[in-house]
Structure 1
Amino acid sequence: MNTTSKCLNCSQAVSGNFCSNCGQNTSMHRITFMHFITHDFLHGLFHLEKGMLFTAKESLTRPGKAAIDYIEGKRIRYYNVFYFILILIGINLFLGNYYDQLAEIYLGESSEKMNNALGQKIDDFFTNYAKILIFSFVPLFGINSFFLFRKRNFNFSEHIIIAGITFLGILLITTFGRLISFLDFTQNFDIISNIINGITGLAIFIFPIFSYYQTFKDYYKKMPFTFRILLFTLLILIELTAFLLVTVGFFSQWGFVNGSKIEL
């Protein structure tokens, strides 16, 4: 192992263990198979999992405080929240598709395609753009909280961080529920799936309240906070309803305006 006086990555003069310009380690070693396995691969894998597990734990148990820590600069222990969200969206889409396939095999439930042109277009749209549509919840959360929770003087980008960590917690709960739902294909434990699904639905509804309460509890009394979080939830529902109406209107060429019947 050699320690260089000049960074081999950017040629910046260095005096410590890391380059002050690009951050590369100044202690270089020749790449061997054993060192690759024991250091580069396992070391990198361990730190990746450690960061993800820590971020998952913080997002579930103290989302509001985790968001504040992140905003205030305590970020080194956190895995990138938005990368994590995209990973979980992919996992949930995979699990949902796999569940449908198993349901068709073991339960005789066929995921029938919509049997009209409009329904097929809408179904294809939501299938093709599922990741983008699910991820769009983050800016929706951020916009609503930016206008409703102003006392803490967070800017819009900081509200996006709060929304991201909150939504990450929701996705973690959703992923757990999806995994448990595979108990539907067992004879003796399917009732557990039904119970967990009910608990999961309630937890998803409560979790944003828990997260935003942790974040803003020192700035709002209970009644003002309750009013704002209820309005926050109502705005999300209104925005989602408006989006669905616009989507149906777009693919139907606004046929419902003329009184045409749309079959979904």
Structure 2
Amino acid sequence: MHHNLCKNCEHTHEGNFCSSCGQKTNTKTLDWHYILDELKYTFLHINGGLLYTSKQLLTRPGDMTREFIEGKRVKHYKPILLVFVLAGISTLLLHYNGDLQVLEKMNSKNKSVIDPKDFVTFFSKYNTYIQLASIPIISICTWLAFKKWGYNYIENTIINSFLISQLLIIGIITSPIKYFFVGNEYYILVNTLLGFIAYGFSIWLYLQLYKDKNLGIVILRLLLSVTVFFLILMVVTILAIVIGFSTSLKHH
């Protein structure tokens, strides 16, 4: 076997990959073949990871999530990275899916409503962070509600990363429907129905994840986790109001 010195970490190795850092031993000259290899890898990675995981989240979300936690991971896109990518796409579509136009109409009738430009700017900048920040909070709630059934907090974080990804996927898929109804009297109704469908998929994820448990108990625990989530939101909101009020008093 031929021995080489890795050009990345200078570790002596044999074979096609460095046993220390994992880099390929055959580092070819950067040319058009390199570009084609990169494009092929990128396409296959998206097709074999992102699209595969997205399809699984729409067809067998709970089973897929359980299998991922148990170790069946090679075909899947990494869950937290998946949230990053999907939140970015969702942010891009925010400008076109109808929500901005609805906010503009609301703002014209009621000047107390948040300026739609501020709304879009805020979510354009922070949508990915908002989605990611919600995961540990939701995971606290589901971990407490389902604690006796075996999954630890980190595993709940993975579960809810897939759940947020699922919601983002449905939002992306249904964006053309929302856009079609912009300006239509049925827009609010359609938007509400699409919301129910999205959260119905989330419930299905948990029902399938815990399919060996009593259906009624699973639903009760889900309701408990939602209640805890809203309690946390109330506490955070009250604290934010108190801090904001205290700050304004200091300035005066």
Task: Give the alignment's TM-score, normalised by structure 1.
Answer: 0.75
- Equivalent in 106, 111, 129 of residue 132 of structure 1: 129
Please, which moves more after superposition, 151-160 or 39-48?
Answer: 39-48
Aligned position for 1:146: 143
SS in structure 2 opposite 1:154?
coil
Amino acid at match of 1:109: K
Q: Compute the displacement of 1:27 (Å).
A: 3.0
Amino acid at match of 1:246: L
Say whether the 8 Å CA contact 1:18–1:26 is kept in structure 2: yes
Say whether the 8 Å CA contact 1:16–1:26 is kept in structure 2: yes
Q: Does 1:173 align with 2:167?
A: no
Aligned position for 2:71: 73
- Equivalent in 214, 231, 235 of residue 208 of structure 2: 214
Q: Distance in 1 between matches of 2:245 and 2:95?
A: 27
Amino acid at match of 2:55: K
Q: Distance in 1 between matches of 2:99 and 2:218?
A: 44
Say whether the 8 Å CA contact 1:177–1:197 is kept in structure 2: no
- Equivalent in 183, 199, 207 of residue 205 of structure 1: 199
Q: Compute the displacement of 1:158 (Å).
A: 1.0
Q: Compute the displacement of 1:149 (Å).
A: 1.1
Q: Does 1:88 align with 2:81?
A: no
Q: Compute the displacement of 1:7 (Å).
A: 2.6
Q: Compute the displacement of 1:100 (Å).
A: 5.9
Q: Compute the displacement of 1:193 (Å).
A: 6.4
Q: Compute the displacement of 1:49 (Å).
A: 3.5
Say whether the 8 Å CA contact 1:180–1:193 is kept in structure 2: no
**In the superposition, relative to structure 1, how do residues 100 and 206 fare at CA in structure 2: closer, same or farther (>3 Å)?**
closer
Q: Compute the displacement of 1:19 (Å).
A: 2.1
Q: Number of paired residues?
A: 243
Amino acid at match of 1:212: Y
Q: Which runs of 5+ in 2 are unaligned?
A: none
Say whether the 8 Å CA contact 2:136–2:157 is kept in structure 1: yes
Say whether the 8 Å CA contact 1:59–1:165 is kept in structure 2: yes
Q: Distance in 1 between matches of 2:182 and 2:219?
A: 41
- Equivalent in 105, 108, 115 of residue 109 of structure 1: 105
Q: Which runs of 5+ in 1 are unaligned?
A: 256-264
Aligned position for 1:262: none
Query: Cα RMSD between the aligned structures?
Result: 3.6
Aligned position for 2:153: 156
Q: Distance in 1 between matches of 2:176 and 2:38?
A: 32
Amino acid at match of 1:153: G
Say whether the 8 Å CA contact 2:207–2:215 is kept in structure 1: no
Aligned position for 1:42: 40
Say whether the 8 Å CA contact 1:183–1:192 is kept in structure 2: no
| 1:30-53 alpha-carbon deviations (Å, 9 max, x no partner) | 2222x1342222332332343110
Q: Compute the displacement of 1:196 (Å).
A: 5.0
SS in structure 2 opposite 1:14?
strand
Q: Does 1:251 align with 2:244?
A: yes
Please, which moves more after superposition, 201-210 or 37-46?
Answer: 37-46
Q: Compute the displacement of 1:226 (Å).
A: 2.2
**In the superposition, relative to structure 1, how do residues 133 and 102 fare at CA in structure 2: closer, same or farther (>3 Å)?**
closer
Task: Give the alignment's TM-score, normalised by structure 2.
Answer: 0.78
Q: Distance in 2 between matches of 1:38 and 1:90?
A: 26
Q: Distance in 2 between matches of 1:209 and 1:100?
A: 26
**Superposed counterparts of 1:223-262, under 5 Å:** 223-253=216-246
Amino acid at match of 1:183: F
Q: Distance in 1 between matches of 2:242 and 2:77?
A: 39
Amino acid at match of 1:233: V
Q: Compute the displacement of 1:146 (Å).
A: 1.0
Q: Distance in 1 between matches of 2:142 and 2:37?
A: 43
